[in-house]
């Protein structure tokens, strides 16, 4: 696999008039993601503070809760993706996943112990796991290959728009309700259920000849072997990137650590997700034309910059600058990695491929979050972000040194 070559050379002009070319289903999936993220990020922007101040949880406990929750989501994605391949239908699983996410939202304001929060996060992340792989595979089913980067970028951009509107609502309603966190958490229920309604009524799943023509896919080792070496390289890259980037809960805790008032801590997620949303679509469109190695390396160096800034931060303003770099890193890498999974997996195994990718990335996130929480507790906040910068640097060096063998380069899809 040659990471130095453009991803899709034939799609040089695909970014032109791209809004007219992307099917309506991509916009529906994007707005569904946006409304669910408004709900989820409203909750998540307050949850670390809620656990630390109201429930008295330690940093290690918060790291474990966040890591396990994301790990559960990753495991679930593997099975839901495979099921969507087996049945050749993805919308039902996506609706089920979004519905579980919506149902979990009232549990947070009702929580009186960390166990309640853990349970709610568990259900919420189970829902995310069920919907994630089928939804990502559905995007690839809807659009032609030369527009995948733009399609994933658009969906991620709308998702990220919700991810900064949610924390913005958190700040506004924390002021409105005089820092009553539980009252604000109830606001998250409305957009979550609207997202489910929109998905049910507005999205029509395309008829897939790729599924209908062949035999149903079973979960066997033989089928797993059909996933190419190029695909497994993408999986490895995703895991390495995730190890270098732990849970975003630590951004919120860092904002409070450097003096941001508790009612305004969600603002750091607003700043991060504004950057993410602004750059996700252009980065996705660029992924259809530019070498993957270039974008991935740039994304890693931006992550290093984010970690360094957050490590040395002594005021909320500096922490906000670090959050901007963090959001830019996400925009440059997340849509691209998703596109590369779609490009390197057989169509009939696409859901399974996304599931395996998310399983391994989720395991890496669990490990990274537990390490981050432990470093914070033992050595302070700066150590957590310095460790992240060090790992990202090592990952960038490894990517620079990587050279594909000639046969892999010949067999490459153009990565």
pTM of the predicted model as reported, rounded to 2 decimal places: 0.68
User: For residue 406, what pLDDT is reported?
Assistant: 43
Residue 414 exposed, middle or buried by CB count within 10 Å (0-12, 13-18, 19+): middle
- Range from 1-15, 120-134, 144-158, 279-293 carrying the lowest mean pLDDT: 1-15
pLDDT band at 11 (very low <50, low <70, confident <90, very high): very low
Report pLDDT for 328. Answer: 93
DSSP notation for 341-392: HHHHS-GGGHHHHHHHHHHHHHHHHHHHHHHHHHHHHHH-HHHHHHHHHHHH
Flag the least confident range among 66-75, 370-379, 389-398: 66-75
Can you list the domains of the chain with their CATH numbers? 17-207+219-411 (1.20.1250.20)
What are 338-368's pLDDT values in tens digits?
A: 888 888 888 778 888 887 887 888 778 778 8
Rounded Cα gap, residues 31 and 18, in angstroms = 18
- Which 3 state secondary structure label does DSSP give 258? coil
Stretch 362-389: mean pLDDT:
86
Structure tokens of 361?
């990335």
Task: Please count the CA atoms within 13 angstroms of the CA of 257 that sit on its side-chain side.
Answer: 23
- For the chain, the first-to-last Cα distance in angstroms comes to 6
Give the least confident one: 125-134, 216-225, 339-348: 216-225
Cα 238 from Cα 246, distance rounded (Å): 13
Whether the per-residue pLDDT at 216 is higher than 80: the answer is: no
User: How sure is the predictor about 179, in pLDDT bands with cuts at 50, 70 and 90?
Assistant: confident
Residue spans of alpha helices (H) in 114-180: 114-142, 148-176
pLDDT at 132: 80
Residue 26 has pLDDT above 60, yes or no: yes
pLDDT at 47: 83
CB count in 10 Å sphere of residue 207: 9
Instruction: Looking at mean pLDDT, say which of 53-57, 198-202, 208-212, 227-231 comes out highest.
Output: 198-202
pLDDT at 178: 85
Q: Lowest-confidence range among 6-15, 102-111, 291-300, 334-343?
A: 6-15
> Is the model's pLDDT at 390 over the cut of 80?
yes
Q: Which tokens in the block code for residue 171?
A: 């700040």
**In angstroms, rounded to a whole number, what is the distance separating the alpha carbons of residues 362 and 246?**
10
Segment 57-93, tens digit of pLDDT: 777 777 777 767 766 776 776 678 778 777 777 899 9
| Residue 1 near residue 229 (C-beta atoms within 8 A) | yes
pLDDT of residue 403: 58
Axis-axis angle for helices 316-344, 249-257 (nearest 10): 170
For the record, the structure tokens of 62 come out as: 């918060």
Nearest-5° angle of CA 280, CA 274, CA 149? 5
Judge contact between 287 and 335, C-beta under 8 A: yes
Work out the mean pLDDT of the chain and round it to a whole number: 81
Higher pLDDT, 36 or 223: 36
What size, in residues, is the chain?
Answer: 415
pLDDT band at 215 (very low <50, low <70, confident <90, very high): very low
Q: What is the pLDDT of residue 18?
A: 43
């Amino acid at each position: 696999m040659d990471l130095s070559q453009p991803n899709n050379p034939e799609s040089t002009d695909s970014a032109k008039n791209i809004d007219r070319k992307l099917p309506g289903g991509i916009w529906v999936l994007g707005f569904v993601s946006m409304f669910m993220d408004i709900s989820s990020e409203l909750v998540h922007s307050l949850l670390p503070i809620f656990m630390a101040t109201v429930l008295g949880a330690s940093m290690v406990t918060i790291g474990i809760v966040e890591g396990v929750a994301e790990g559960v989501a990753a495991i679930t994605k593997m099975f839901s993706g495979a099921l969507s391949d087996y049945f050749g239908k993805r919308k039902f699983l996506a609706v089920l996943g979004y519905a579980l996410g919506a149902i979990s939202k009232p549990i947070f304001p009702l929580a009186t112990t960390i166990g309640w929060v853990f349970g709610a996060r568990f259900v919420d992340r189970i829902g995310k796991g069920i919907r994630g792989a089928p939804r990502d595979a559905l995007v690839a089913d809807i659009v032609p290959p030369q527009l995948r980067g733009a399609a994933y970028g658009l969906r991620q951009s709308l998702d990220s728009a919700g991810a900064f509107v949610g924390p913005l609502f958190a700040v506004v309603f924390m002021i409105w309700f005089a820092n009553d966190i539980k009252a604000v958490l109830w606001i998250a229920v409305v957009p979550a259920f609207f997202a489910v309604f929109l998905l049910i009524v507005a999205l029509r799943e395309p008829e897939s000849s790729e599924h209908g023509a062949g035999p149903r896919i079973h979960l066997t080792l033989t089928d797993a072997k059909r996933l190419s070496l190029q695909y497994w390289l993408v999986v490895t890259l995703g895991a390495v990137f995730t190890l270098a980037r732990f849970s975003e809960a630590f951004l919120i805790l860092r904002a409070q650590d450097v003096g941001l008032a508790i009612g305004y801590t969600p603002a750091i997620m607003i700043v991060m997700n504004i950057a993410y949303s602004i750059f996700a679509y252009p980065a996705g469109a660029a992924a259809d034309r530019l070498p993957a190695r270039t974008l991935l390396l740039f994304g890693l160096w931006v992550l290093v910059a984010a970690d360094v800034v957050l490590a040395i931060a002594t005021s909320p303003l500096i922490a906000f600058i670090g959050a901007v770099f963090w959001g830019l890193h996400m925009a440059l890498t997340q849509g691209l990695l998703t596109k590369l999974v779609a490009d390197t997996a057989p169509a009939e195994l696409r859901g399974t491929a996304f599931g395996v990718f998310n399983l391994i990335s989720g395991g890496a996130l669990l490990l990274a979050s537990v390490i981050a929480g432990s470093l914070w507790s033992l050595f302070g906040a700066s150590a957590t972000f310095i460790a992240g910068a060090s790992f990202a640097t090592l990952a960038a060096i490894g990517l620079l040194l990587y050279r594909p063998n000639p046969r892999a380069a010949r067999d490459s899809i153009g990565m």
